[in-house]
Amino acid sequence: MAALDNHALVAVIGAGAMGAGIAQVAAQAGHPVRLYDNRPGAAAQAIEGIDRQLGRLVEKGRLTPDNRSAIRARLQPIDSLDDLADARLVIEAIVESLPIKQELLRQLEARCADDCILASNTSSLSITSLAAGLRHPQRVIGMHFFNPAPLMALVEVVSGLATAPTLATTLYDTARNWGKQPVHARSTPGFIVNRVARPFYAESLRLLQEGAADCATLDALLRDAGGFRMGAFELTDLIGHDVNYAVTCSVFEAFYGDFRFQPSLVQKELVDAGRLGRKTGQGFYSYADGAERPEPAALTSQAPVEHCTVEGDLGVLQPLVERLRAKGMGITERAGSGLLRVGDATLALSDGRLASQRAREDGLRNLVLLDLALDYASATRLAISHDAECSDEALDQAVALLAQAGLSVCPVADLPGLVVLRTVAMLANEAADAVLQGVGTPGDIDLAMRAGVNYPRGPLAWADGLGVGFTLSVLDNLQRSYGEERYRPSLLLRRTHAEGGRLHG
Ligand code: NAI
Domains of the chain by start residue, with CATH: 10-187 (3.40.50.720), 195-280 (1.10.1040.50), 307-411 (3.30.750.190)
Q: What angle do CA 461, 221, 478 make, to 5 degrees?
A: 60
Compute CA distances 234 → 315, 424, 463, whole Å: 32, 18, 25
d(CA 408, CA 380): 6
Compute CA distances 489 → 106, 188, 204, 466, whole Å: 42, 20, 19, 15
pLDDT single digits (tens) 111-153 = 999 999 999 999 989 999 999 999 999 999 999 999 999 999 9
d(CA 58, CA 166): 37
Catalytic residue among 31, 120, 121, 144: 144
Task: Write the Ramachandran bin of 117: left for phi over 0, alpha for psi from -120 to 50, otherwise beta.
Answer: beta
pLDDT of residue 1: 61
d(CA 89, CA 78): 15
pLDDT single digits (tens) 144-181 = 999 999 999 999 999 999 999 999 999 999 999 999 99
pLDDT of residue 505: 74
pLDDT of residue 501: 96
pLDDT at 213 over 80: yes
pLDDT of residue 302: 87
Task: Check if the beta carbon of residue 236 is closer than 8 Å to that of residue 283.
Answer: yes
- Which residue owns the Cα nearest ligand 1 atom 9? 16
CA of 85 to the centre of ligand 1 (A): 23
How would residue 481 be classed by pLDDT, with cut points 50, 70 and 90? very high
Alpha carbon 218 to its chain's center: 16
Strands 10-13 and 307-311: unpaired
d(CA 422, CA 488): 13
pLDDT of residue 89: 98
CA of 91 to the centre of ligand 1 (A): 11
pLDDT single digits (tens) 67-112 = 999 999 999 999 999 999 999 999 999 999 999 999 999 999 999 9
- 156 tagged catalytic: yes
Helix (H) or strand (E) holding 224: helix 215-224
d(CA 21, CA 207): 36
Name 491's Cβ contacts closer than 8 Å, sequence gap at least 6. 436
- 281 class by beta-carbon count within 10 Å (0-12 exposed, 13-18 middle, 19+ buried): middle
d(CA 505, CA 145): 27
Catalytic residue among 120, 123, 244, 429: 123
- 144 tagged catalytic: yes
- 123 tagged catalytic: yes
CB of 222 shorter than 6 A to ligand 1: no
Catalytic residue among 156, 203, 234, 430: 156
How would residue 2 be classed by pLDDT, with cut points 50, 70 and 90? confident
Closest to 493 in 3D by CA, of 65, 199, 389, 474: 474
CB of 154 shorter than 6 A to ligand 1: no
Q: Is the dihedral of CA 477, 479, 480, 482 positive or negative?
A: positive
> Which atom from ligand 1 is nearest to the alpha carbon of 19?
26
Does 148 sit behind a cis peptide bond, omega within 30 degrees of 0 on the bond before it?
A: yes
